Structure 1
Amino acid sequence: MKQERIKVQLYNKTYKEIDMSDFSEIPEELFSNRSDIVSVWLPDGVKKIDANAFENCFRLSEIFFPNTLRVIGNEAFRNCVNLKKPEISEKVDVSETAFVGCNL
């Protein structure tokens, strides 16, 4: 089976990949308070983004969700003030507070 990775573009224009082989959730606060993240590509297999996973990532401007995503938790993207409105499937259960503090 092909191992999937999260692809992250940082402010200094470098790219990082995070191994996704062991989980289908983005855990709570995994990327919170990271001021260097500007873009995120989540691979197929990710089903849930937990609470506050990307909280206070103020430079985050775009995120790409996989077709497998089903849940975006409370305040997952809280205060991501530069985030452009992402494309979210109708199949995704989005918390009412998922994008609180964003300028969408």
Structure 2
Amino acid sequence: MAFEPVDGDLVLSVGANAFRNCSNLTEITLPDSLTTIGPYAFVNCTSLTNITLPDSVTRIENGAFYDGTNLTAITFTSNPPANDRQERIRKL
């Protein structure tokens, strides 16, 4: 699944519970314009195995990937310093 501009506007956030219980969601492409992933946005997305976060993401709310039991890889579009990378993952 990929995000597309809506009426020419860029997608800036994934809202709270946006993909809650989407157990068939296996992959998603997040746009470079994305800044925020809301609380429980991908909660219980049990088929999602990996996700790539664009550098534009500055806020990941509590439980964004909660109960993602098959989520085994979180990568970033660039390679931030190790301390920053660890801090960003800790917040997931």
Task: Report the counterpart of residue 24 of structure 1 in structure 2.
Answer: 12
Identity among equivalent positions (%) equals: 24
Structure with bigger RCO (C-alpha 8 Å, 6+ apart): 2
Q: Which runs of 5 or more residues in structure 2 are unaligned?
A: none
When the two chains are superposed, the root-mean-square deviation of aligned CA atoms in Å is: 2.3
Task: Point out the structure with the larger helix share.
Answer: 2
* Aligned residues between the structures: 83
Q: TM-score, normalised by structure 1?
A: 0.67
Q: 1:84, CA displacement in angstroms?
A: 1.4
1:23 and 1:43 map into 2 onto residues whose CA distance is 7
For residue 75 of structure 2, give the secondary structure of its aligned residue in structure 1: coil
> For the residues of structure 2 that align with 1:95 and 1:61, how far apart are their CA atoms?
15
Taking structure 1 as reference, are residues 62 and 91 closer, same or farther at Cα in structure 2, changes over 3 Å only? closer
**Residue 22 of structure 2 corresponds to residue 34 of structure 1:** yes
Partner of 2:61: 73
Stretch deviating more after TM superposition (82-91 or 34-43): 82-91
More strand by share: 1
Which runs of 5 or more structure 1 residues have no equivalent in the other structure?
A: 1-7, 9-16, 99-104
1:58 corresponding residue in structure 2: 46
Scaled by the length of structure 2, the TM-score of the pair is 0.75
